[in-house]
Amino acid sequence: MMRLHLDTDNSRTATTSAWQRQTSGRKNRTRFLLGCLLGLLISLPAMAEEILIPLQKLTPHSLIKLKCIGDTASLEIPVSDRWNVKKVTLNLHYISSISMIGDLSQLVIKINDVPIAQVKLNPLMPDALLAVNIPPQYLKPGYNKLGFTVAQRYSTTGCENPCSPGLWTDISMQDSSLQVEYELNPVPLKLSSIAKFLFDPKTYPEAHVNLITEDRSAENLTLAAITASGVARHYDYRKVTFGVTQQIKPGVDNIVIGRTAFMQQFLGPYQLSLGTVKGGYLKVFPLPDADGADNTHALVVVSGENFDHVKMAALTFTNISFAYPGTQELNAFEFRMPEVASYGGRDVLAANKVYDFKTLNYPTTTFQGINPVVKDLSFRLPADMLVLQNRFAKLTLNFAYGSGMRESSAMHVVVNGIAARAIWLNDKNGHVLQNYQIDLPTYLFKPGSNVISLTPELHPELKECDFTLMSNLFVSIFDNSTLIFPDMPHFVELPKLELLMLNGFPFTRWPDGYDSLIYLTDPSSNEAVAAALNLVGLMTQKNGFPLLNVRVGLQSLEKWKGDVIVIGDQRTMPDTLKANSPLHTSKTSLIPYPVVRGWQNETATLAHSRQMSALGEGSGLLMQFESPYQVGRTITTLSADDPADLLRLGEALLDPEVQGQIYGDMVLVEMTQPKFRVTSMLVGKTYATGKQGDVSWINSFLYSYPYAYYALLGLLILGLAFAIYVLLKRYRATRKLGEAQKKEPKKE
Amino acid sequence: MPIKIPLHELQKWLPLAFIAALLYLVLFAQNYFDATSQGAAGWGCLLLMIVLHKLRIFQRPPWRLVFMLLAGYMAIRYFSWRSLQSLIYTGPLDFIGMALLYLAEAYGLILLFLGMFVNLWPLTGRPTILPKDATDLPVVDVFIPTYNESDDIIRITVIAATQMEYPKDRLRIHICDDGGTLSKRAQPESMEAAWDRHLRLRQMAKELGVNYITRETNLNAKAGNLNHALNHTDGELVLALDCDHVPTTNMLQRTVGYFLADPKLFLVQTPHFFINPTPVEKNLVGVGNPNGENDMFYRTIHPALDFWNASYFCGSAAVLRLSHLMEVGGICGKTITEDAETAFLLHSKGYNSIYVEQPMVCGLSPESYDDYVLQRTRWAQGMLQMFIMNNPLFARGLSWPQRICYFNSCFFWFFGLARFFYFIAPALFLIFGLKIYHASGGQVVAYILPYVLSVLVIMDFLYSKARQPFFSEIYESVQAMFLLPAVISVCLNPHKPTFKVTPKGHTHANVSLNPLALTFLIIIVVNVIALVLAGIKWFEDPLLREVTLVTGAWCLYNFYLAMVTLGAFWERKQIRHFHRINVSGEIDITFPRLNYTTKASLTDISLTGIGFKVQVPYPLVSQERVFIDARHSDAFDMRGQDFHFEAKIMRLFPQGEEGNYVCGSELMLNREKYIEAVNYVYGDSERWLELWDKKSTSKGVPKMLWYFFVTGLKGTVRSAVMLFAQVSTPILKSLKGINFRLPSDLRKISLHSLFGQHMEELQVDTGHGLLLVKNTLLDAQANRRKIPRIGRSPAKSPIAANAEMDVKSNQPSSKVLNRRKIPRLVPKPAIAAGAKGDMQPGKMVNRRKIPRISPRPAPKADVVVGAKPGKMANRRKIPRISPKPTVGTVAGEGAGNNVESDKKKK
């Protein structure tokens, strides 16, 4: 393996790494050390931080493949407004084909489409490590496109096959990284910084927010949950963990929630004062600390004269999404939410609604050349959608394609990786087509995330050197193309914890969390509260809608008609729930052990052991089962043996790797390092739930128990046969004897 | 306050509730179950049906109903999928094709359900009701309408009618002749033949002691003929017999009693039993021992109709009550199926009908394809006329089951349209690229295949008693293309069709390909092209492979069906006027030469002779005289009447062990013995029942498929060869100017080279012969028949018929040989014979060839006292001598009266 270093300032290649600096000479050593010490002391408050970002964290792919004679790929580097980037180094590991001609083949690295480095793809050194210094000024706050473009050639004479199998370069995302040195910018004392600065999804690698509440009443915890949901929503997909304390936590952003009286009492020691509080009240301060104030972090006050006002403030906080207001504080007097439809949320398609591609984030796109980049149309379907068989989603395409393409050219429509249809681009004169309708069978779709890929396969004429003339090979798909998805019932068989990880279902059936309750068995436990807020944040981010109507409850669950998340350690968990959980833990526990592991989503062959035991340290349990209080409603429990494990469990659920392994009704998470270990099982009883009215209880029953369906079918056939038989038998007797004989006795 | 629902109301509505629930379940599965579950449901149900089909208990209600409901579930399941999920608009032409195919399928489904409804519980085993006292018996008029049938046919029927067991004073038999009406006798072009016929039949009536009735015109054809007769008779009951329908002796015994029991009864219908096969049956005889084509109607459908009090008049073999009949003006003539229409009107008036499931007439099917198609066209047009003009589904006076039954009977005749679309549908896709059927491979497996197979199973379940698998397909295919224009014509103008008499008793001297086969040759060619294109599409268009596979398989099936159908288009030789009937039983045989009497097993009988197996310890010789003692009781008749015949052994085949012979004898009949022979051969209804049952054994689906395939392939090759020969012969003639003749062994060579030993297996007798005839012999005889002959009358006298022998015999009688020599000696038959004055008295051909000297105006009188049977020359003189302006009624000789059109009488 060869390690390269590219200094972009002087375009020089070096064989030493950039981060290994050498000092000058021995003569200057003492002077240098003293200077360093002095500089350190001077710059201590603004000391640069360094972070290593594996590229795999920025893209879902572990490998970028660059094929053919020319190809490009890119990923986005988030740069938060909080960062003052000092230095960025890209460490790139790639392997290229040895079939290529080194002098003609090269890899170009671009930032925001500006080339910053070029390297020859040397067939003699196919496996290379490349270090590239990226000028910090090229990186703007926001998302910066890091692009890779290759020119790959294998012949200098005659015409090349542009997609010869020997033309490839693989860039490993696992082994490549970005090394960023940055300083934190001071927080602007404007409330608009909530959306664009403080809780910015470009924050890397993760965020931590500390919440302080007036007390542990249900009202205040509910407000904390709404606020946490708002924070999570601001962070969008970026992982955020919550902590809960009674005091300000230094080094992180803090949010304090409470009524005015409490707030004045709380802020007093820090010499901070509120303005005029009328209605809901929001204000942002530099984070006070022992030395005065940490202006790189903020203390956000969410307050009001009473709980309603505080809630109004929390809702306002949750929804601030652009650079307004530019003031440090605000008073909120009214907050109106739009009408919330059930099953809404991030990228969720509504049934029978015409979506144009533009709405679906698919602008007019042109695919050009022999190896065009595939673009996907991504959307989500409700997690509890019952995909009916043999219905069709209607895709109406408006597109144009170039002339002079070979008749074998086509455009494939691929649904979730399955080829659904192909459009033959067979007019050599090119064509513009409007309203090209394609029926996509609904069984190709699934609840949750779905992808429709339009993959052109454009072929030039097979004449000599045609491969070099490929500009005419193009397909443009216009953004006024549309997609309509048919109506489907909301009906799903639970428990399915994977749906919780998909979009927070069933607690996000109403996207604002209406009908959902978070029940804390021990509200005094900071860890339990933090775990609850982490889960709220998770559900918010998964569904893309703040849980503005979620409630935290502390009273008995028996009267609650909706779905419940129960969080607490095993000791404080209510017995009724223990008895109904898949583990049947009451005085003793009935532990199911799979004897023969079934397929995913299939009940395993289980042995049961009744024992008196405990979960143990370092483990947590996530379980789901039908509510013993309400048929068709769900209870999800998050528990561990001690509060610390409970908190760690809550944080573990934020890990995408853990989320990907969760399914069934019982998930055991072992908080081990470096990776969590997850065991998922389906061991308990199943039940069905859905949107009331869409799926009747009969349908629900028959769907859940297909054997009951067949039995009923048989019974109905038998019943009908015998009912007809009874009628016919009487009639037949009259026919056999003759009409006259039938009537004679009556006359007599 | 609780609502009380009467139990009988509940029972009435309960089935509807069940049906609604079942439909709900079907739709539920449609929406919620994936293709795997659907496939499991479909194939599971099919498997269950196949298993239950084998269990006898499921043949009878209530389990029979369970079976039928399973089939109904399969059909509804398929059709809900077809309707809700497979109809996709892809373009205007595609849509038209798709819609037509869908309609054809909908037609099939409706017919399936109608068929199941009608067949819920066929009424069998109805007790026979006999009169309490013979004096109670009503007077019965027997009508035998004729038009152009041969004398022999009429004579046998009349004789058999006179032999019916019924008090003679209460039985009146009438020959209702429409071939000798006044108008026919008045028109120059038909005068001679009409006079001839008129006189012959009058003479026959007189001779046999029955009445002869004719009328002025032929208005309303058969209906008019019968109505005319009805207006001239006054019996309480009427027995209608087609002139080729020979009644058994117990016909009235079995039917009249029902009229005494039910005053509202207007009809007792009995089955039509045919001793000769239809052309289709005849040509598919290699498949085994198939049921007659109409067996399905008379053995399964009619008992089923009877259950719903919807058994209708089939034109013959039925007894009707005159008083009820006259309430609707007699036999109706609005449509050309006057019989069904009459029953329809009488049912509408609340009268009842009964079907007696015992064949008590023996008739003749059409012998040629032309006649066959003519007959079916009339039926189709007539029933569709009724469908359009009477609208059975909403007719007043009928019960709902009756409406459904009549609707089913009429609606069935649209099958030509549906079959046509089935034939062309796959080709529309494969040749023209029309997308008319949208189904994925999974859906084909989940829905289409189980449904198609379940239809085969239910059809076999319902009709296996009377029809072997796949025969319905062939029967329908054979007719479909030719009924298509007729059906469309009726739909456009329901009043247009006119009654055309189906010719009966025709003969064919040669094996030939009916020109109608050309349609199926075209279908075969189209399907072959489509199949080739399917192969190309398979490789060229991988995305459409599933559709290509489905349509290709469909095309292959169409090709196969067309091929088999084509095999049925061969007009086989039919030179026999009196069909041999394969029977069983014992007879006593006396050999006067050997002074030896023994028992023999019957093999076949006909009016001309008896075949039997016998063991004799002495050597037998050809032309040996024997005496035969036979009894009906030997052939399952309870009457035990003895019959004694003198016969001559014409064929003799030693069999196996020494002394075993299979013999073909020729009866020596005089007039009395002839009547006795008619009684013996046709008088026993149990014999027909036995023959019915003999044919009800299925060979099994795979074997049938193979036989059909071979038969079809054979037919196709033969047709192609014949077509080539027919096309090339005139060309060669014109080119070479020579008298080209197709090599006599061309067909034989080509077939033998293709089929080898299968030819031997497939070549069986026509269903009535004594022995299997080897192909070579058939060919030899066929070649002999190719020489044009003259001098053969289309109808032979009984004596002439006696002289007829089985042409398959390898030892023909001298008479036959002599007769056959005649045409060979006469190179130019008709005019040459006449010009040379080579007139042979008594031979029809010579009579016909006599040039008419002076055409005369139509005679105004048609009855002459004292007309005697004699030579034609004498008879012809009669009308010329004594024309009479008005029609009179003159008593004939003996018990019979000759009655002519005389409105004043009534």
B470-485 pLDDT per residue, tens? 777 778 877 888 888 8
Angstrom distances, CA of residue A553 to CA of A59, A303, A548, A638: 39, 21, 15, 15
Transcribe A369-380 into DSSP letters.
SSSPPPEEEEEE
Segments of B437-582 assigned E as strands: 512-513, 570-571, 581-582
pLDDT over 90 at B283, yes or no: no
Sign of torsion over alpha carbons B873, B874, B875, B879: positive
The residue among A179 and B766 whose pLDDT is bigger is A179
Q: What span, in angstroms and rounded, lies between the C-alpha atoms of A192 and A321?
A: 8
The residue assigned the tokens 């094996």 is: B511
Tell me which chain B residues have a C-beta less than 8 angstroms from the C-beta of A709.
25, 28-29
ipTM given for this complex: 0.74
Flag if A713 and B123 touch (Cβ within 8 Å).
no
Q: What span, in angstroms and rounded, lies between the C-alpha atoms of B782 and B885?
A: 52
pLDDT over 50 at B755, yes or no: no
Q: Give the count of beta carbons closer than 10 Å to the beta carbon of residue A368.
A: 17
Flag if B61 and A729 touch (Cβ within 8 Å).
yes
Residue among B544, B561, B530 at smallest CA distance from B425: B530
Residues of B belonging to the active site: 178, 339
User: CB contact, 8 Å: B400 with chain A?
Assistant: no
Tell me which chain A residues have a C-beta less than 8 angstroms from the C-beta of B443.
390
CB B306 within 8 A of CB B354: yes
Q: Closest CB to B264: pick one of A716, A722, A739.
A: A739
Residue of B nearest to A740 (CA): B262
Sign of torsion over alpha carbons A124, A129, A131, A132: positive
Flag if A716 and B70 touch (Cβ within 8 Å).
no
Report the percentage of chain A scoring pLDDT > 90: 35
pLDDT over 90 at B702, yes or no: no
Best of B10, B13, B18 to disrupt the A interface (most A CBs within 10 Å) is B18
Give the pLDDT band of residue A385 (cuts 50, 70, 90). Answer: confident
Flag if B30 and A390 touch (Cβ within 8 Å).
yes
Report the percentage of chain B scoring pLDDT > 90: 23
Flag if B22 and A724 touch (Cβ within 8 Å).
no
Q: Closest CB to B18: pick one of A390, A706, A723.
A: A723
Best of B8, B27, B32 to disrupt the A interface (most A CBs within 10 Å) is B32
By CB atoms closer than 10 A (0-12, 13-18, 19+), residue B458 is buried
Q: Which of A4-18, A396-410, A723-737, B889-903 has the highest mean pLDDT?
A: A396-410
Flag if A422 and B33 touch (Cβ within 8 Å).
no
SS3 B190: helix
Best of A392, A699, A725 to disrupt the B interface (most B CBs within 10 Å) is A725
Torsion angle of C-alpha atoms B289, B292, B298, B301, degrees rounded to 10: 80
**Least-confidence region, from A57-61, B244-248, B608-612, B740-744:** B740-744
pLDDT over 90 at A229, yes or no: yes
> How many residues belong to chain A?
748
Q: What is the pLDDT of residues A668-713, one digit of tens each?
A: 999 888 889 998 888 888 888 876 555 677 887 888 788 889 999 9
CA distance B232 to chain A (A): 30
Beta bridge partners of A624: A636
pLDDT over 50 at A12, yes or no: no
Question: Strand B273-274 and strand B361-363: pairing?
Answer: parallel
Give the pLDDT band of residue B806 (cuts 50, 70, 90). Answer: very low
Flag if B18 and A388 touch (Cβ within 8 Å).
no
Contacts of residue B700, Cβ cutoff 8 Å, sequence gap at least 6: none
Q: What is the pLDDT of residues B484-531, one digit of tens each?
A: 888 888 888 888 777 666 655 555 555 566 677 777 788 888 888 999
**Residues of chain B numbered 277-316 and touching chain A (CB < 8 Å):** 306-307, 309
Tell me which chain A residues have a C-beta less than 8 angstroms from the C-beta of B261.
738, 740-741
**Residues of chain B numbered 207-266 and touching chain A (CB < 8 Å):** 258, 261-265
CB B517 within 8 A of CB B569: yes
Average of per-residue pLDDT values in chain B: 75
Flag if B61 and A718 touch (Cβ within 8 Å).
no
Contacts of residue B16, Cβ cutoff 8 Å, sequence gap at least 6: none
**How confident is the model over A78-105, as a mean pLDDT?**
91
Flag if A390 and B81 touch (Cβ within 8 Å).
yes
Tell me which chain B residues have a C-beta less than 8 angstroms from the C-beta of A735.
123, 306-307, 309
Q: Closest CB to B62: pick one of A386, A712, A722.
A: A722
| Predicted local confidence at residue A652, as pLDDT | 93
* SS percent in chain B: helix, strand, coil, step 5: 55, 10, 35
| Predicted local confidence at residue A464, as pLDDT | 57
User: CB contact, 8 Å: B88 with chain A?
Assistant: yes
User: CB contact, 8 Å: B123 with chain A?
Assistant: yes
| Predicted local confidence at residue B408, as pLDDT | 93
What does the angle CA B879 – CA B884 – CA B887 come to, to the nearest 5 degrees? 105
CA distance A725 to chain B (A): 6
The residue assigned the tokens 């002339």 is: A403
User: CB contact, 8 Å: B127 with chain A?
Assistant: yes
Task: Establish, for the pair of chains A and B, how many residue pairs have beta carbons separated by less than 8 Å.
Answer: 113
**How confident is the model over B591-595, as a mean pLDDT?**
87
Give the residue ranges of DSSP H helices in B814-900. 814-825, 830-835, 844-849, 872-881
Tell me which chain B residues have a C-beta less than 8 angstroms from the C-beta of A442.
none
**How confident is the model over A575-596, as a mean pLDDT?**
79
pLDDT over 70 at B421, yes or no: yes
Report the percentage of chain A scoring pLDDT > 70: 88
User: Which strands make up the sheet holding B890-891, listed edge to edge?
Assistant: B352-355, B265-269, B318-321, B237-240, B140-146, B171-177, B211-213, B897-899, B890-891
Q: Which of A249-258, A593-602, B728-737 has the highest mean pLDDT?
A: A249-258
Best of A388, A701, A739, A747 to disrupt the B interface (most B CBs within 10 Å) is A739
| Predicted local confidence at residue A427, as pLDDT | 85
CA distance A431 to chain B (A): 19
Contacts of residue B196, Cβ cutoff 8 Å, sequence gap at least 6: B872, B875, B876
CB A319 within 8 A of CB A230: yes
Q: What is the pLDDT of residues A487-503, one digit of tens each?
A: 888 888 889 999 999 88
Q: What is the pLDDT of residues A54-64, one digit of tens each?
A: 998 888 888 99
Q: What span, in angstroms and rounded, lies between the C-alpha atoms of B340 and B328?
A: 13
pLDDT over 70 at B854, yes or no: no
Residue among A735, A727, A730 at smallest CA distance from B354: A735
User: CB contact, 8 Å: B14 with chain A?
Assistant: yes
Residue of B nearest to A390 (CA): B85
| Predicted local confidence at residue B762, as pLDDT | 32
**How confident is the model over B38-45, as a mean pLDDT?**
90
pLDDT over 90 at B334, yes or no: no
Tell me which chain B residues have a C-beta less than 8 angstroms from the C-beta of A422.
543
Cα distance between the two ends of chain A:
115
Contacts of residue B715, Cβ cutoff 8 Å, sequence gap at least 6: B283, B563, B564, B566, B567, B568, B569, B570
pLDDT over 80 at B767, yes or no: no
CA distance A412 to chain B (A): 11
pLDDT over 60 at B648, yes or no: yes
pLDDT over 90 at B797, yes or no: no
pLDDT over 60 at B573, yes or no: no
Give the pLDDT band of residue B114 (cuts 50, 70, 90). Answer: very high
pLDDT over 90 at A638, yes or no: yes
SS3 B663: strand
**Residues of chain B numbered 675-714 and touching chain A (CB < 8 Å):** none
Tell me which chain B residues have a C-beta less than 8 angstroms from the C-beta of A389.
30-35, 38
Q: Closest CB to B73: pick one of A699, A717, A739.
A: A717
Number of H helices, E strands in chain A: 13, 38
CB B347 within 8 A of CB B353: yes
| Predicted local confidence at residue B285, as pLDDT | 57
Flag if B15 and A712 touch (Cβ within 8 Å).
no
Q: What span, in angstroms and rounded, lies between the C-alpha atoms of A451 and A415?
A: 6
**How confident is the model over A179-195, as a mean pLDDT?**
89
pLDDT over 70 at A390, yes or no: no
CB A149 within 8 A of CB A94: no
Q: Closest CB to B261: pick one of A712, A725, A741.
A: A741
User: CB contact, 8 Å: B81 with chain A?
Assistant: yes
Q: What is the enclosing helix (H) or strand (E) of B694?
A: helix B685-694
Backbone angles phi and psi of B355, in degrees to 5: -120, 125
Flag if B73 and A713 touch (Cβ within 8 Å).
yes
Q: Could you tell me the two tokens for B16?
A: 């509807």
| Predicted local confidence at residue A282, as pLDDT | 93
pLDDT over 90 at A224, yes or no: yes
Q: What span, in angstroms and rounded, lies between the C-alpha atoms of B80 and B62?
A: 27
User: CB contact, 8 Å: B443 with chain A?
Assistant: yes
Tell me which chain B residues have a C-beta less than 8 angstroms from the C-beta of A703.
32
Please state whether the peptide bond connecting residue B62 to the residue before it is cis, i.e. omega within 30 degrees of 0.
Answer: yes
Q: What span, in angstroms and rounded, lies between the C-alpha atoms of A683 and A584?
A: 11
Contacts of residue A49, Cβ cutoff 8 Å, sequence gap at least 6: A181, A182, A183, A184
Burial track B168-197 (b if 16+ CB lie within 10 A, e otherwise):
eebbbbbbbbbbbbbebbbeeebbbebbbb
User: CB contact, 8 Å: B543 with chain A?
Assistant: yes
Q: Closest CB to B34: pick one of A443, A726, A727.
A: A443
Contacting B with CB below 8 Å, chain A residues are 386, 388-391, 422, 439, 441, 443, 699, 702-703, 706, 709-710, 712-713, 716-729, 732, 735-741
DSSP-derived letter for residue B854 is -
